[in-house]
Chains A and B, each alone.
Chain A
Amino acid sequence: MKLRSIMYSIGQGFKSIWRNKMFSLASVATMTACIFLFGIFFSLGVNFSGMLKNVEESVAVTVFFEKGITQEQKDAIGNDIKARTEVSSYKYVSGKQAFDTVIKDFYGGNKELAESFADDNPLADSDNYQIFMKDVSSQQKLVTYLSKLQGVREVHQSEAAARTLTDFSRLISVIFGSVIIILIAVAIFLISNTITVGISVRKEEIAIMKLIGAKDSFVRAPFIVEGIVIGLSGSIIPLIILWFMYKNLIVYIASKYQFLSNLFKFVPETSVFKTLVPIALILGVGIGYIGSRFTLHRHLNV
C-alpha cells in the first residue's frame, strides 16, 4: 500500500470511530476493563510467584543415611542428588553441625548448657543432605527416587507445605487463565460489533469501492485501523491507571502492614511494568486486529 493510502485509511478509520462514538466508547471501555484486570492479575501473579519462590527455596528435603555407611557411599548419593534436574542446590550437614544448630536455636547459644551434651551428641548419626528444590511440584518424585537409593535410611520432607503451595499456584493460574480468556472473548466480541456497525454504515461506499477497482487491502485498511486504535486506547488507559495504583498501593501496604514486608518484598513497579507494558500493548493491538479482521472476513469476504 502506498503511503498516501495508508494516511487516507488512518483518516477514514478515525472518522469511523467518531461516527459511531457510542460503540467505539463501549469497546474501549471493555478493553480497558479487560487489560486492567489482566494487569491486576499479572501484578498479583508476579508478586505471588516471587513469594512462592522464596518458600520454594526454603522448602527442603532431608536425606538421612543408614548406620555405618562409608564416606564414599555418601558421596555417591550426593552425586545422584546433583544429577537431578529438579534440585536447585544441596548441602551436606554433619551430625555435629545439626547438633550445633539445635543448640543454637533452643538454648540461644548458651555454652554451658550446650557443653553438658558435648560428649553425648544425640544427633551423632544424623549426618544428612539438605536438598532445595527448583520446583516444588516435583518434590514427591524426588522423594520416591531418593528413598530407593542404597544407603538411604530415611527421607524427610515438608510434604504438606509443598503440596498446598503447588495446588494453590495451580488454582491461581487456572482462575487467572479463565478470566483472561473470557475477557479477551468479550473484548473481541465488542470490537467485532463496533466494526460490524461501521461496515453496515459504509456498505454502499464499500460496494462502490469494489466496483471501481479498490484492492481488498484498501477496503480493509480503515476497519483494521479502527480496531487497532480501539485496542490500543483500551490498553494504554488501563496501563496508566495501573501504574499509579500499583506504585501507591505498595507504598501504602508497606507502611500500613509492616509485618508483611518481613515476609516478602513487593516486586518494584518498574520491573512489573517492564513486562506488563509490552504484553498489554501487544494484547490490545492483537485483539483489535483479530476482532476487525475476523469481522471483515465474515461480512465482506475481504
Chain B
Amino acid sequence: MIKMEHVSKTYQTGMPALSDINLHIRPGEFVFITGVSGSGKSTMIKLLLDEMKPTKGRIFVNGKNLAGITRRNIPYFRRNIGVVFQDFRLLQDRSVYDNVAFAMKVVETSNKKIKKSVPEILSMVGLAAKYRSLPKQLSGGEQQRVAIARALVNQPKILLADEPTGNLDNPNGWAIMKLLEEINEKGTTVVVVTHNLEFVEKMDKRVITIKKGQIVSDKESSEEF
C-alpha cells in the first residue's frame, strides 16, 4: 500500500529532513508515526501526497511509483488519499455540509451522489445535526470531525492524518482517535502522525519512531496482523 525505499529528502536549506527511510505499510494497517518536533514527520506526509519529490529513493503508494506520476495525473492520484491536518483547514465561509460537499464538487461528483453521500458521512462522524453550522460555531473536536468527513467522503483507500489531535484537549483527542480506529476497522489504511505518547501507548498499534530524519524503531502491534 505504502512503500518507501531508501528515501531521503533535503530541503533547499541543505539540512536533510529525512535520510534513507525504508518502510512498508500494508493495506488495512493503522500506523502511528511519532518523533519530536522537526524530526521529519510532516515531510514524510508531504512526500506521500506527492507535494514534493524525494531527493533520493523511491516511493510507492497504491502500487504506483510516485516518480512516474505526471503532473496531469497528480489530481487522480490524490483522490485515493484523504488528508487531515492539525489546524483542520476548513473553509470558514461555508457550512459543515458545504465543506464536505466541496470535496466532492472539486472532483466533479454528480449532485445526486453528493446529496446522498454527505449526510451519510456526517452522521458517521456524529455531526448530522450540525450540518448547517459554520466552522466557527463548532468546537475544535467537531471541526476536526468535519475535516475527517471531508477527507473520507470520496472514499479514499488511505487516510493520512498529520497531528489530528494537536489542537484538541484530551477527551476530544481521544474521541478523534476512536473515530480513526473505527474508520480503519472499515478497511481504510490509516497513518497518524502524533507526538502524544499517551495515545500511542494505549492504542496498541504499529508505531514508527523517527529521530533526526531516520527511523529509530518500528514496533508492530501486539495483536497479530
Contact = CB atoms under 8 A, between A and B. Distances in A.
- Sorting the interface of chain A by its residue count into under 10, 10 to 19, 20 to 34 or 35 or more gives 10 to 19
A204 B89 contact: yes
A60 B32 CA distance: 93
Interface residues of B, number: 22
A78 B210 CA distance: 96
B193 to A, nearest CB: 15
A212 B106 contact: yes
Contacts of B78: 210-213
A2 interface: yes
A204 B91 contact: yes
Contact of A212 (B71, B111, B154): B154
A88 B211 CA distance: 88
A211 B49 contact: yes
Tell which of A5, A8, A208, A212 has the most Cβ of chain B within 10 Å. Answer: A212
Q: Is the interface of A mostly helix, strand, loop or mixed?
A: helix
Contact of A218 (B89, B106, B110): B106
A208 B75 contact: no
B90 to A, nearest CB: 9
B106 A214 contact: yes
A215 B71 CA distance: 10
Contacts, number: 46
Interface string B72-87: 1001111100010000
B91 to A, nearest CB: 6
B107 A212 contact: yes
A208 B89 contact: yes
Given A2-B108, A5-B108, A213 B76 contact: yes
Contact of B106 (A2, A204, A213): A213
B89 A8 contact: no
B106 A209 contact: yes
B146 interface: no
Closest 7 CB pairs of A and B: A213-B79, A213-B78, A214-B106, A213-B75, A215-B75, A5-B108, A212-B103
Interface of B: 49, 51, 71-72, 75-79, 83, 89, 91, 102-103, 105-108, 110-111, 150, 154
Given A1-B108, A210-B78, 5 more contacts: A204-B91, A213-B76, A213-B154, A214-B75, A216-B75
